[in-house]
Structure 1
Amino acid sequence: MEEVDKILIHALKQVGIEEIDSIKLFSSELIVEAVVRCIRVIDPGLGNALPTSLPPGMSARFRVGMSLAQSCQDIGYKGEIGYQTFLYSNEPEIRSLLMFLVEKLPRESAQSSDQPTGKSVVLQRAIAAAIKAQLAVPWLPSNCRLPMHCETQVRSPAPGATCRSILEQDTEPQICKKVCLISEVKDFQWDILPPVTAQPAHHASVVASILEQHTAELSAAQEWDIEWNSQGLLSRLTPQEYRSRKLNRLRKRIEEQLRSAALPFPESALGGPCSTSDLSELLQNFRGSAPSDHVLTKGTHFTHTQKFTFAQEAAAVTSSIPTGHQSETDIQLHQQEELTSLQQQLQQLCSDVDQLAADMKHMSVTNTQVKQTHTPQEQRNSEKEEKMQVKKKTIDLLPDSDNNLLKLQALVEASAKRVVNLASQWEKHRAPLIDELRRLKEICSNQDLESSRKLSEIKSLHDRIRVSTDEAKKKEEIYKQLVTELENLPQDVSRSAYTQRILEIVSNIKKQKEEITKILSDTKELQKEINNLTGKLDRTFAVTDELVFKDAKKDESVRKSYKYLAALHENCNQLIQTIEDTGTILREIRDLEEQIETENGNKTVANLERILDDYKAIRQENSALAAKVREG
């Protein structure tokens, strides 16, 4: 049991139970904590709802014990278990329960396969180790810090804060196509640009900035791979041609957006009560041109009216400046009249703007209708002009009609002969051309099939390369994680010690088996000898009884000897039976002693005393609750 207890204690230390030396010294609180921590490792969803310590109230203790018993049954414990296992525990039950829980704990291989592997896990563990190391360092006030550590102890920016850093990879190759630009960029990076570690304002944000930059580059490369595999290969272009076509499309879209932004506003937008100065500024901002003061534009009737109105208003305002001799009442009346007149002018201007917008709409509709009617008229005019040209040439040929007819017939005959000659020549060339066309079409179709097949092979190769790359990355990450875990493992405990200990346990078990086999063989030999002696005694008694019985019929003294012989045989049988009963009683005594030791190990008396104390505590709680109920 000592070896078993050592194994259990070692496993419990792995889950966070410290300062334990033996299973016998386990208290109820320590048993509850050990069981809960093991359940949390086995099933986190089930163990997170369980407390690691017993509450002060007895009723709450019973509920915690019942919930722990139910949780142990849920994870597969088949033994007898209840709240008494945790509150009034004994050593054998606790040992069997802990052995079951330790066997259910996930092994290191299972943990490494279930947990997420990769650089993030290693990084998180390294961060946790660094935080633990920093927490272990005692805090010092600023006055007590050493001068050499003042720079490192200054308050740093927020964790994970990043800033834009310029790396050599920042300049994309498709942008720097010219050699001079590439050389200028390299000169700038070599001569003027500071190192990456010196670019951020705070030294603590260097790593986060570099990680953010590399993450952006990696995501851009992955997006390009996905786009090229999905769309670029189907376009049958080179990567440079595909990029240039994409760049041209982007430029066209930007030009279209700029043109649409530079167009004048529709007439409906001019209907609101807004000033022309704001509108012109807005249009100038969209068009990116010079201010309206420096551009000579042709004014419309609306703009002239607006300018004239604003000039009148300015003159009225300047003329309406009150003098010192006027009273406040006259000034207010004058301002009210001006406000009324300005509102009327504003309403008039709004109505004028609405009327102008309606007129512009009507004119645009009329212009569209005129264009629609003008286009077919132009087509008809062009057709009539062609017919007129033909008729004019015919009229010019009418004065000398006979000669012209002969010439025309000659031209027709020559054209017919030429057509026949061309047809014969075409037939001579047509057959090989058709054969060549069919051959080329067949070659083209074969090339298309071959290209589609190669494209599918390339896609499959890309998929396999991606899968192989992912697998290689995962294996590399697992390898790095295992190397890191191996480095973090304690080096003071060697594997040979555990192996030697296991071999010693195995040799002890073998010795015990040999001793048990030897005892069983000795017991069999003794039983065989006893059986032989018993048989020999029975046979001897039978022969002696027969001989003495024959002589007892003739002689009285021999008859007494026969009686003594029978009494001796009976006494020997009683003695043998007494010896057998003594052995049975001794075995029963040993069994009872073992039971007494077991009961003493179960702490029955102590548990009974604890049960009585708990019963008294529950009665006191019940009486206190009843008193509260009566008071309420």
Structure 2
Amino acid sequence: MEEVDRILIHSLRQVGTDIDEDVQSVKQFTSELIVEAVVRCLRVIDPSVSNGLSHSLPPGMSARFRLGMSLAQACQDVGFKGEIGYQTFLYSNEPEIRSLLMFLVEKLPRESAAASDQPAGKSVVLQKAIAAQIKAQLSVPWLPPSCRLPIHRKTQDYRARKKGRLQKRIEEQLRVAAQPRPDTHGATRSTSDLTELLQSFSGVSSGRDVLTKGTRFTHTEKFTFTEEPEKAAQQMAAAASALPSSHQSEEDLKALQEAELSSLQQQLQQLSVQMEEVGGDIKLLTVSIQQVSDEVNQREVSNAEKENSVKMKNQTIDLLPDAENNLLKLQSVVEASSKRVVNLASQWEKHRVPLIDEHRRLKELCSNREFESSRKLTEIKGLHEKIRQSAEEAKKKESLYKQLLTEYETLSKDVCRSAYTMRILEIVGNIKKQKEEITKILSDTKELQKEINGLTGKLDRTFAVTDELVFKDAKKDESVRKSYKYLAALHENCTQLIQTIEDTGTIMREIRDLEEQIETENGKRTVSNLEKILEDYKAIRQENSALAAKIREG
């Protein structure tokens, strides 16, 4: 059982069960470890069955009983046929737990038995790294946002970036609004103001030199040195009129700038309203033009129809003066047309029959080709499906290979595979030897039974013959009569002796069975389970008394 337990423990560790290195046998499993192992296996076998099942025992006894019953029901749902209940998990014994774990390990999916329900390939390592990072973050104590200095610094950077994006957006809107339009009149002043405000936002003068950032007045002052003399004088005069006096304070300057900004914003809003109104007028004009074009097309079609009708009426009017001759001509034309139609019908009948036969032949050939093409299409679809399945299987095997390669790299290299192989071969050899010995013992037993049956039959026949011969002589001789009595007594004693030997063998077999039962009962840990049951009973009584006290207090 040691090898079986090692395989079980290895498989349970693969599905995520936390088993200490000291645990080497199922006999060392505690109730907590048994519950965790069963829940982990159920989550891999059928996640829908294990929904709501905790892999750790709750502190309360009533909750433990409910969890044990839920686990027993879940194991029965996945196909376990043995006897199982809450006592299997709370008051376990070694044989029952071993059989249950063997069943669950055999039910694990083969493709994911090495990695349970986790994704394959490098994603396993990534998921473990993510879990480790989350665990590390959870171990850090929580701090309010105001006390997190790095995040606070990031929030200052975010505000700066947001302010820059907002300023750039306003600059683009002002640049669009500052462009002159042919259909706007009387907006020269607002356009110039918007241009000046755009220059104040962008920090670039109307010349082609890029200037450093500054106020509108510094740009105006620097702009005077790059213009022509007359324009420079005008700009200097405007700057002089716009510059604040030495008696004005910074607050007055800010107020002046805010007033100018508000006026520009109002003008911008007015321009936006005007643009929306013009856009609406354009839409209305487009709709009306479309309607007019539709009406023109309809009238052109009606005019063409009327022209055709007028031409027909004119031709009819031209034929009215010589109506009789025209009727005779029309009748001759109709007769000739009818004869031509009959002739054409006869000719068509001659050509129609072979054409119909050819059509039928081609139709049958087309249907055969369609059937053949549909069959080939079905085969192609089947091949595509096989290719897709093969590709999916190849991907799964590739991911499994990567995962196994990753696990192989993580395993300790001091363990030699040949040692495990030799150990497995030794186990297989021992099993073969045991089978051979069992077969030899069974054959020896059969031979002995045959020999015993033969000797018993021979003894019975010998006694019958001897009894008959001695009985004949006993009628004549007294000494022979005594010999017959001794023979009968000897036969009876031998029979009793044989029966005693058989009874002794039966008793020895019963003794061996009882010893095995004793070992089985010792493995069930009956005494420890009884002690545990008593402790749980006391805990339940305490819980009940506590609940009753709470009810009385309430």
Tell me: CA distance 1:442–1:545, structure 2 relative to 1, closer, same or farther (3 Å).
closer
Partner of 1:610: 532
Partner of 2:15: 15
Tell me: CA distance 1:482–1:501, structure 2 relative to 1, closer, same or farther (3 Å).
farther
Partner of 1:595: 517
- 1:95-244 map, 5 Å: 95-108=98-111, 125-132=121-128
SS at match of 1:47: coil
Aligned partners of 1:36 and 1:51 also within 8 Å: yes
Tell me: CA distance 1:284–1:522, structure 2 relative to 1, closer, same or farther (3 Å).
same
Give, as a single letter, the amino acid of the residue that structure 1 aligns with 2:93. Answer: N
Tell me: CA distance 1:441–1:286, structure 2 relative to 1, closer, same or farther (3 Å).
farther
SS at match of 2:49: helix
Partner of 2:281: 283
Tell me: CA distance 1:439–1:276, structure 2 relative to 1, closer, same or farther (3 Å).
farther
TM-score under structure 1 normalisation? 0.47
SS at match of 1:45: coil
SS at match of 1:44: coil
What is the CA distance between 1:593 and its match in structure 2?
A: 2.0
Partner of 1:521: 446
Cα distance between partner residues in 1 of 2:317 and 2:478 = 178
What is the CA distance between 1:64 and its match in structure 2?
A: 1.3
Cα distance between partner residues in 2 of 1:379 and 1:29 = 101
Cα distance between partner residues in 2 of 1:569 and 1:454 = 96
Cα distance between partner residues in 2 of 1:92 and 1:626 = 40
What is the CA distance between 1:79 and its match in structure 2?
A: 2.4
Partner of 2:173: none
Partner of 1:507: 432
How many residues are matched? 390
User: Considering only aligned residues, what root-mean-square deviation do their CA atoms show, in Å?
Assistant: 5.8
Cα distance between partner residues in 1 of 2:78 and 2:284 = 71
Quick one: which of 27, 36, 52 aligns to 2:30?
27
Cα distance between partner residues in 1 of 2:538 and 2:274 = 95
Tell me: CA distance 1:579–1:418, structure 2 relative to 1, closer, same or farther (3 Å).
closer
Cα distance between partner residues in 2 of 1:562 and 1:422 = 147
What is the CA distance between 1:610 and its match in structure 2?
A: 1.0
Aligned partners of 1:28 and 1:86 also within 8 Å: yes
Cα distance between partner residues in 2 of 1:576 and 1:379 = 134
Aligned partners of 1:35 and 1:101 also within 8 Å: yes
SS at match of 2:436: helix
What is the CA distance between 1:445 and its match in structure 2?
A: 5.8
Aligned partners of 2:31 and 2:89 also within 8 Å: yes
1:627 aligns with 2:549: yes
Give, as a single letter, the amino acid of the residue that structure 2 aligns with 1:132. Answer: K
Give, as a single letter, the amino acid of the residue that structure 1 aligns with 2:30. Answer: S
Cα distance between partner residues in 2 of 1:47 and 1:454 = 56
Quick one: which of 472, 477, 487 aligns to 2:387?
472
What is the CA distance between 1:603 and its match in structure 2?
A: 1.0
Partner of 2:265: none
Partner of 2:63: 60
Aligned partners of 2:121 and 2:399 also within 8 Å: no
What is the CA distance between 1:476 and its match in structure 2?
A: 2.1
Give, as a single letter, the amino acid of the residue that structure 1 aligns with 2:384. Answer: T
Aligned partners of 2:17 and 2:37 also within 8 Å: yes
Tell me: CA distance 1:606–1:378, structure 2 relative to 1, closer, same or farther (3 Å).
closer
What is the CA distance between 1:55 and its match in structure 2?
A: 1.0
Aligned partners of 1:548 and 1:562 also within 8 Å: no
Give, as a single letter, the amino acid of the residue that structure 2 aligns with 1:282. Answer: G
Cα distance between partner residues in 1 of 2:307 and 2:484 = 163
Quick one: which of 75, 85, 88 aligns to 1:85?
88
Tell me: CA distance 1:573–1:44, structure 2 relative to 1, closer, same or farther (3 Å).
same
1:481 aligns with 2:396: yes
Aligned partners of 1:552 and 1:562 also within 8 Å: no
Give, as a single letter, the amino acid of the residue that structure 1 aligns with 2:390. Answer: K
Aligned partners of 2:93 and 2:523 also within 8 Å: yes
TM-score under structure 2 normalisation? 0.53
Cα distance between partner residues in 2 of 1:79 and 1:110 = 23
Give, as a single letter, the amino acid of the residue that structure 1 aligns with 2:54. Answer: P
- The percent identity for this pair of structures is 45
Give, as a single letter, the amino acid of the residue that structure 1 aligns with 2:16. Answer: G
What is the CA distance between 1:71 and its match in structure 2?
A: 2.2
- 1:119-518 map, 5 Å: 125-132=121-128, 279-284=277-282, 430=344, 434=348, 438=352, 449=363, 453=367, 456=370, 460=374, 465=380, 468-489=383-404, 500=425, 503-504=428-429, 507-518=432-443
Give, as a single letter, the amino acid of the residue that structure 1 aligns with 2:432. Answer: S
Unaligned 5+ residue runs, structure 1?
A: 116-120, 141-274, 289-373, 395-404
